[in-house]
Amino acid sequence: MEAILSKTAVRGRFGISAKTSFFSGVIVFFILVIASLILLRFQSGMMNRIIDGNIRGMEKTLQAHGERQHTQGRKAIEANAEMLSKIAATALYNFDRVGLEWIMTSYIKMDEIQAVQVLDHKGVPFFAIWKLPDIRTGPTLPEALTSDNPKKFVFDSHYEKQFMGKLTVYYNNTGIDAQVAKSRQEALTAIAAFREIIDSQMNQAVGRQFVGIFCVVAILVLAVVICLRIFAIRPIERIIRGVNEEVSQFNSVSRQISSASTELAGGVDRQAVSLSDVMTLLEDMVRRAQASITCSEQLNRMGEEAGQVVSQVNSAWAALARFMEDIEEAGQHTSEIIERIESIAFQTRLLSLNAAVEATRAQKAGAGFAVVADEVRRFSERSAEAARMTKQRVDETRRVVQTGKDLMEKHNTAFGQVAENFASMKKLVADITLANRTQGNSIERINRAVLEADTVTHQNSDNARISASTSVQINGQARQLELFINDLSALVGNGVKNSVSEN
């Protein structure tokens, strides 16, 4: 097995630089070829654009030259037509149609001249000559010739300032157009020859460039092989050894992290269960605190209502006490009145006794008066008895009123203590309500804190599971990295083989 690994390492040591150089050379070759083709295409396109620009410039020059020739030819025809108008005036004056025909025959042989029409001063046709294509003469021109050729010059013919008629010359630019076309064809022929020369030189340049590219690639491949052998393989071997050691340590650390993450996940789960129980207890405490707050508020309202009732009872007892005092005071006044009645009854009885004594003394004359005195005595006795009984009743009433007054004072004192106790109880109930609310708020804050802690605990649990899973993945990646390092070691010819962990 070691011999096979050694042979593989030797093949890798001597093969990686050659393979890398070969593929790098092929890539560089194709890149240079593509770049050369692009450059040649760019140069060819540039040359074509230059040639096309020259062609367009030549065409513009030929067009301008043709326009100048057209202008010059038109001016020459116009000058000749003006001269012919003078000759025609002489012929019209002399009525020399033969001489005019001889002169016009020489003139119409010009390429640009198509026809000439001469009219006398009355507008009657005098002479006409045209080419169709041979030269013909007659009094008038064919109608088709005049309608198809709009280019013409019309001049008045004067002989010694006398109007003799009109001369009309019809012309075209056939000759000038032929010269311009000939010049353009010659220029295009020269440009085509120049293009063939350029294409031949470009093909030769392409061949030389491909030969140069091949030489450059060969030199580059050789240089890459040497540089890789000197500057790459040995440093890569050192790096592989260092990375191998680091991967071993990393693998050990990843296993430790995985174990710690698993334990952390278990602890976080147990903490989550404990927090769930605490949350249940806190929710029960919150419900009990809310019930206590509700009872305290109801007790506070009942205390307020009882305080109001006690206050009303105190007011009623105070009114009753004032009423009893009024009764006692009325009893005193009644006793005084009864005493006065008793005094009056006593005095009346004394008067009746005196009257009876006086009636006895008077004997018969005072018999009627004695009867009256006796009735007055009996009335005074009944009045005294009634006053005595009334006084007894009033005294009993006063005693009862005094007893009621004493009882009322005791009740007032007791109700005052009850009112004070109710006030104290009300303050105590308010304090209990405030304490219950404060306790409820504190429990709610504790509940929220526990909820947040529970959320954080679940997040920590999830993070711990993720960390454990990540640690497992890292461990697997570390083992995979060890395999890659072994492959790289074999590729660069490193004899040290890393042992892959089985954990």
Starting at the edge strand found earlier in the chain, the sheet holding 152-159 runs 135-138, 125-131, 113-120, 162-171, 152-159
Under a CB-based contact definition with an 8 Å cutoff, are residues 380 and 348 in contact? Answer: yes
pTM above 0.85, yes or no: no
Helices 367-492 and 2-94, interaxial angle, to 10°?
Answer: 90
Using an 8 Å Cβ cutoff, are 175 and 111 in contact?
yes
The Cα 297–Cα 157 span in angstroms is: 138
pLDDT of residue 4: 36
Cβ 87 vs Cβ 103: under 8 Å: yes
Rounded CA-CA distance 391/383 in Å is 12
Q: List the alpha helices (DSSP H) in 149-232.
A: 174-227
Strand 152-159 and strand 162-171: pairing? antiparallel
Region of residue 397 (left: phi > 0; alpha: psi -120 to 50; beta: else): alpha
* pLDDT tens readout for residues 44-90: 777 777 777 777 777 787 778 778 877 877 787 788 888 888 888 88
Kindly tell me if the per-residue pLDDT of 471 is higher than 80: no
Question: For the chain, what percentages of helix, strand and coil (3-state, to nearest 5) are there?
Answer: 85, 5, 5
Report whether pLDDT(5) > 70.
no
What is the rounded average pLDDT for all residues in the chain? 74
Cis peptide before 133 (omega within 30 of 0): yes
pLDDT band at residue 489, thresholds of 50, 70 and 90?
low
Distance CA 47, CA 38 (A): 14
Q: What is the mean pLDDT of residues 412-417?
A: 72
Average pLDDT of the segment spanning 453-469:
73
Give the mean pLDDT of 206-214: 73
Residue 111 has pLDDT above 80, yes or no: no
Instruction: For 132-176, write each residue's pLDDT tens digit.
Output: 778 888 888 887 777 666 678 888 888 888 888 988 888 877 766
The pLDDT score that the predictor gives to residue 268 is 67
CB-based contacts of 370, cutoff 8 Å, min separation 6: 355, 356, 359, 360
Question: Which range has highest mean pLDDT (99-103, 144-148, 332-336)?
Answer: 99-103
- Dihedral of CA 92/93/96/102: which sign? negative
Q: Does the structure show a pLDDT above 80 at 118?
A: yes
Find the radius of gyration of the CA atoms of the chain.
75
- Amino acid found at 274: S
List of long-range contacts for 466-470, beta carbons under 8 Å, 24+ apart = 467/257, 467/261, 467/264, 468/258, 468/261, 468/262, 468/264, 468/265, 470/261
The per-residue pLDDT for 3 is: 40
Q: 227-241 pLDDT, tens per residue?
A: 766 766 666 767 777
Contact at 8 Å (CB) between 25 and 221? Answer: yes
- Which DSSP string do the residues of 186-198 spell out, in sequence order? HHHHHHHHHHHHH
CATH number belonging to domain 266-470: 1.10.287.950
In Å, what is the CA distance from 192 to each residue of 48, 184, 189, 196, 205?
A: 11, 12, 5, 6, 20
pLDDT of residue 493: 56
Whether residue 184 has pLDDT greater than 70 = yes
In this structure, are residues 399 and 391 in contact, taking their beta carbons and an 8 Å threshold? no
DSSP 427-458: HHHHHHHHHHHHHHHHHHHHHHHHHHHHHHHH
Q: Are strands 135-138 and 113-120 parallel, antiparallel or unpaired?
A: unpaired
Q: What percent of the chain has pLDDT over 70?
A: 77
Domain boundaries, the chain: 94-175, 266-470
Report phi then psi at 396, rounded to 5. Answer: -60, -45
Provide the pLDDT for residue 148: 62
| One-letter amino acid of 301 | R
In total, the chain counts a number of residues equal to 503
Q: Which residues of 459-478 are buried (b: 16+ CB within 10 A; e: fewer)?
A: ebbebbbebbebbbebbebb
| CA 103 – CA 105 distance, rounded (Å) | 5
Report pLDDT for 500.
42
- The H or E element spanning position 137 is strand 135-138
